[in-house]
Structure 1
């Protein structure tokens, strides 16, 4: 059945309400506000050497534009806006405005009609030398007043009566007379002589009988008041959608935004864009059912709207427009399911969008569908979808980021990966695409972190957070705060915790909590920040032997990152001495990495799990050859995928194995080779244990006796001071006790009994303050 056929003429009837201007009490109040200003200006021109100050003219124009564009507000909100000092308004202007509203309220329908008609008659007269024109017909104010007059003339008598009742209730719900009493009694500085009000002031106590009759009339009758016009809804939708993309914190809070959306839907049910704004708000809150319903409602109404608009046009044009909506409906469905992690369903929508885009030769839709397919699909699909095809600049820049990620996890050389990143950044800079520039910096930081270059990742995060992303939105400026900003903030918190600088990490987290969008509460942190903070809290609790705290943090982390929490759980079981549970958790991780379609994205997780498995087997198994094989496999994979830091960590574990097998010189040579990488990019804990292993290797390979042995041992004692400092930073009490014990032994071999006794006393003090289980002291760890 042809959608654009004659059988769907009823769509014209659906669109009637949206095309009609809703005359509301707020609009009548705006007309009265404009009217009194215009009359004051006429009086000023009639007087000799009397003009209105520019600041009053400027602020009136800004305020009038705001009142025309903004949605209807209650009378008390209007009073607050006029009297809070944000706008320079003449006291006489506000007094006359109050009198005009009071006059309409007291004198009935005739006063309401006269307010609108007299405004047109007095302010929009033809320009002449004797009669100056205050408001031209084609200005913003002129167009607004003529439109109000036109739609007011079309109202029936019953509708006019209903409008007057609405105005009475609107006026009663405010604070009648309060604004007039609160106005300053200052005389006009820029107008002489003092202008008088254009209407007689009616006291609040006048006509009590009429007021009581009107109150009863309003209470008895129920009427429906439309608050939103089509133009207001379009402006509101555009502003909020823009803010949701730029900085969610500056947009309305989710609950308030959804309430406003519901109001607009009730007033203009056929307006499709408001349903798409509801879809974005639900995506923001991770509400799948609401997002799906809003998306379907949006494109249902879009298709019908296109059909209605093209009923009298060429059928081919109408069909093409409908097909375009079908294509982008499938594309947005793919984006929605990708956001919620429904990759199989997302790929179905991607295939539908690709087929429709290819059939219509729509290159833009084809490129967007390929990008979402690359995010939702596995390795093979990503490689096919990211093939080189002509793209618009924005899509080409986004595709460059995806291709860089794909190349990195598939073992491409880092130089090639960063060359792709540079091409995307060049496009971003040429076209001033701020959001993609931020995404590019976040992506670069993530890739440096993947390769183990912590300092480079930190620099890119700092560049992103210090980037000038201010842009104009309406009359104000807004800073961009997107997912990339949250990623960079989480990266900086991670680096601070990595270096065991808890105060800096806490300060950064507190600052970012107030800078980022708050979804559920004004101080609700971003999930990425919560995940990073929880992960490092769990790591520090494990090092300190606080099992209950660590277990609680690991369970909390599971809701953000399941497999990272599983790896921490395996480490907890290992440190507690439960080898069976540790190995079972590690096998679960490795099985997931094997079966996952996009397993190369988890190569870093796989290698860390294999390293931990080698530690467990080294401690609880007598077969050392298996550990060497696992570590060699880790080293091979890390070098294949250019994971430099993980390769250095694997080599440190191999050196530890060699030391325990009696090959001290080989272990020392290997440690000296990789120690600079660990010291440059490692965490405080990694630097401490790397330096400790280096010290052990030097002790094992030192001369048997003589002055040279004393010098080596003394040098090792000095190196252990740095080891103790870093272990103290991270709270690794068991490792700290081992270091004190080793240093006491070295001082005893040297013959420095005072230093030995000092170390022994410190050992006893720490052991008393932080009792350590004996099983933790017996673990064989690098």
Structure 2
């Protein structure tokens, strides 16, 4: 509530009398509209005729919007009253036009009669009027109390404004068509902002000219469209909520910045409007604009007010400053701002802000604390339910990175689910499902991970009543689903999911998830198709979003290309990184092992790298990564002329690869398994039988490689079969696969140096 407004209306407090603003003509017109509605409705009731239900509904919905959004000109109001969506009853419209005309033609006496207390007491009558405790009743009381206290010169000035307001509106209506039943006007656009995907911005306005200009307001702005403090607060609260949870339904950046500039022009001390500008600049990744908006909000925030209801300090702006620096990876500045916030929160006794600052401090120093001992608040404190749910999720994330037992982590998530369900915290419940999906993916259960992702999308559709919410959890699972569909060879479905994520999350920070998945998909496809320049270009773009992931993929590209020395330099640089998580360490060691496996030779360091990776995978319960390590070990043992051990290693990892791997890993596993099975045969007859059994397996692998357009691997299988049949003196079979190789090579020519690669 705005307690300064109540103080301004107090006759015993003369210091605040100058803060009473004269109501604009639009507000008087809205009161007349309500008055005429009640007259027409009561007249219909007295005559025994039911007032049209649709007309009642349309007017109630229209009135709710009129009192929430800024004022408008008379012609815009008239167009809105006659629009198809909110068309009011014909008798009601005629009565309203007549009442406005009477004020203009009959003189100031009509306005004085309207401002009498008895008149608006009838409006607030419980039986025939509006409930005084409703939103509309509060609106009427506020305007009428101000009208009652106005002096005669002020009433005269208001009358002149109403006459000018009505005269200009009628003249505009006479010049142009009324457009009854036409499209929405600019006034309606102000009332009902378009979704980000449903409208288009002015092509002449660039971000530099419009969205980032926080000082100016459009020159053609309607002088009667003023934002009242309550209207501004409601608009700011709505847009902040949408920017946090569903950016797609918030206003586009240029249009939102225009509205913010109007609010600031009408309410220059509204600090929340500047904070909304900070959020708008933040999603455009404009650091200097966001910093400027945050400083302005900081300057206009009251340190302490006279009432106990608004004892706010600077600590909240300090924590937002820290968040701003954290979004742009300014870690040292963020920590300094958090230290200042903690001190201010302690001075003010603000426990909530202190918990928030400590949470961010723990997040930025996550490698220096034991989360199971220092991050969980007291579960018995009802005021920390939301903080406790977030803390549990943070602990689970940190515990997964540190290699805690998965059973303990999932038990913690059950506690988080219990809290979320008891308190109906839907956003945290969706975050918990997204975290479950990520955990199953980390532990190599990709099928279960995709099921949890689909479950979250279905639940979000139910929670949002038909519209999937645009929270961060949805962004993460969409990116995860697109990656999973791509590794399964469903490129079209993956592209559809990727396009859906791109349209729903057009800007930072949620756009980062689908951008990373998009670059990973491009890199993998380019590796399969031997398009190295495109792959390296995507690696450079990925590096800007995630340095470790960019370097890891660049090393994979150079290994697939055969540039082992370059790959080793990148891997050594990666291993020296201080913030390398366990999963990335395992994959780096596997890539390092690949650099030691030549076409016919294996280095003595191969086993050492694979053992280190195996120890890390076992300690972190990453079964799928352990299976991948065994598959690489089988390749190395096969090249070291140890077919029995290679065959055993291949059998150990087959089940995990087939259950949870993509089609590339499964096809590669098929190829390695057949090679090991044939090589481990004791006699030539046994070798022929095993090769004949493995033909169907290899054909399945060929189909998978063709689906991924991994043409080099298809040629590798044909070469292997032709050579093996040549060794077994089966010339017809040898010629058959040699012919297949020739035809496939002529259709998809691959350079000789890219054939026979272990990667």
Give yes or no for TM over 0.5. yes
Distance 2:385 2:325 in 1: 25
Deviating more after overlay: 294-303 vs 671-680 = 294-303
Point out the more displaced range, 37-46 or 237-246: 37-46
1:609 and 2:597 matched: no
1:363-402 to 2 correspondences below 5 Å? 363-381=351-369, 383=371, 386-390=374-378, 392-402=384-394
Q: TM-score, normalised by structure 2?
A: 0.84
Aligned residues: 700
Within the alignment, does 1:551 sit opposite 2:536 as a pair? yes
Per-residue deviation at 1:40? 2.5
CA–CA separation in structure 2 for the residues paired with 1:241 and 1:223 = 25
Matched-pair contact (CA < 8 Å) for 1:441–1:460:
yes
Cα deviation digits, residues 596-623 of structure 1 (max 9, x gap): 2x44xx2222221221122122228967
Contact 1:445–1:457, Cα closer than 8 Å, also in 2:
yes
Q: Which residue matches 1:742?
A: 720
Residues 454/225 of structure 1: CA separation in 2 closer, same or farther (3 Å cut): same
Q: Verify the 8 A CA contact 1:123 1:134 in the aligned structure 2.
A: no
| Alpha-carbon shift at residue 302 of structure 1 (Å) | 2.5
The answer to whether structure 1 residue 262 and structure 2 residue 261 are counterparts is yes
Alpha-carbon contact 1:60-1:89 (below 8 Å) kept: yes
Contact kept in structure 1, 2:602 and 2:639, CA below 8 Å: no
- Residue by residue over 1:12-56, the C-alpha shift from the partner in whole angstroms, topping out at 9 and shown as x without a partner, is x9x97995345334323323322432343454356x434423443
Change (3 A) 1:140 1:332: closer
TM-score, scaled relative to structure 1: 0.81
Other-structure match for 1:502: 491
Once residues 53 and 122 of structure 1 are traced to their aligned partners in structure 2, the CA distance between those partners, rounded to angstroms, is 28
Match of 1:565 among 530, 543, 550: 550
Report if the CA contact (8 A) 1:44-1:52 is conserved.
yes
- d(CA) in 2 for partners of 1:549, 1:128: 71
Give 1:424-503 correspondences, 5 Å limit: 424-468=416-460, 479-503=468-492
Distance of 1:753 and 1:241 partners within structure 2 = 74
Change (3 A) 1:266 1:331: same
Cα deviation 1:98-127 (Å, max 9, x = unaligned): 44445656x4xx657725743767854669
Work out which of the residue numbers 345, 365, 370 in structure 1 matches 2:333. Answer: 345
Whole-Å Cα distance in 2 between the matches of residues 112 and 678 of structure 1? 86
Query: For residues 244-283 of structure 1, what are the structure 2 equivalents within 5 Å?
Result: 244-283=243-282
- 2:568 pairs with 1:583: yes
Contact (CA 8 Å) 1:247, 1:478: kept in 2 or not?
no
Q: Is the 8 A contact 2:36 2:92 kept in 1?
A: yes
Structure 1: give runs of 5+ residues left out of the alignment. 1-12, 184-221, 311-316
Equivalent residue number for residue 114 of structure 2: 118
Paired with 1:648 and 1:175, the residues of 2 have a C-alpha distance of: 79
Question: Per the alignment, do residues 403 and 112 of structure 1 end up closer, same or farther by CA in structure 2, a change over 3 Å counting?
Answer: farther
Which residue is 2:401 aligned to? 409
Q: 1:763 aligns with which of 731, 735, 741?
A: 741
The 8 Å contact of residues 716 and 756 in structure 2, kept in 1 or not, is answered as: no
2:529 is the counterpart of 1:530: no
1:418-464 CA-to-partner distances (Å, cap 9, x unmatched) read 12222212211111111111111111111111122111211111111
Query: Structure 2 residue aligned with 1:695, among 656, 674, 693?
Result: 674
Shift of 1:145: 3.9
Q: Would the alpha carbon gap of residues 584 and 141 (structure 1) be closer, same or farther in structure 2, given more than 3 Å must change?
A: closer
Indicate conservation of the 8 Å contact 2:601/2:639, yes or no. no
Structure 2 CA distance for partners of 1:120 and 1:91, relative to 1, 3 Å = farther
Identify the residue that residue 151 of structure 1 maps to in structure 2: 146
| Cα contact 1:32–1:115 (8 A) shared by 2 | no
1:83 aligns with 2:79: no
Cα distance between partner residues in 1 of 2:491 and 2:479: 14
CA distance in 2 between counterparts of 1:751 and 1:620 reads 24
Stretch moving more, 721-730 or 478-487:
478-487
Answer whether contact 1:586 1:613 (CA < 8 A) is retained. yes
Does the 8 Å contact 1:590/1:609 carry over to 2?
A: yes
3-state DSSP class of the match of 1:650? helix
Distance in 2, matches of 1:673 and 1:734, equals 27
Greater CA deviation, 53-62 or 632-641? 53-62
Cα distance change, pair 116–61 in 1 and its aligned pair in 2 (3 A): farther
Between 495-504 and 131-140, the greater mean CA deviation after superposition: 131-140
Equivalents in 2 of 1:499, 1:673: separation in Å? 22
Shift of 1:156: 6.5
Corresponding position of 1:232: 231
Q: CA deviation at 1:396?
A: 0.3
Q: Residues 98 and 225 of structure 1: is their aligned pair in 2 closer, same or farther, counting only changes over 3 Å? A: closer
Alpha-carbon RMSD across the aligned residues, in angstroms, is 3.5
- Pairing of 1:418-429 with structure 2 (within 5 A): 418-429=410-421
Cα–Cα, structure 1 residues 562 and 448, in superposed 2: closer, same or farther, change >3 Å? same
Query: In structure 2, how many angstroms separate the alpha carbons of the residues matched to 1:19 and 1:477?
Result: 45
Q: Is the 8 A contact 1:410 1:641 kept in 2?
A: yes
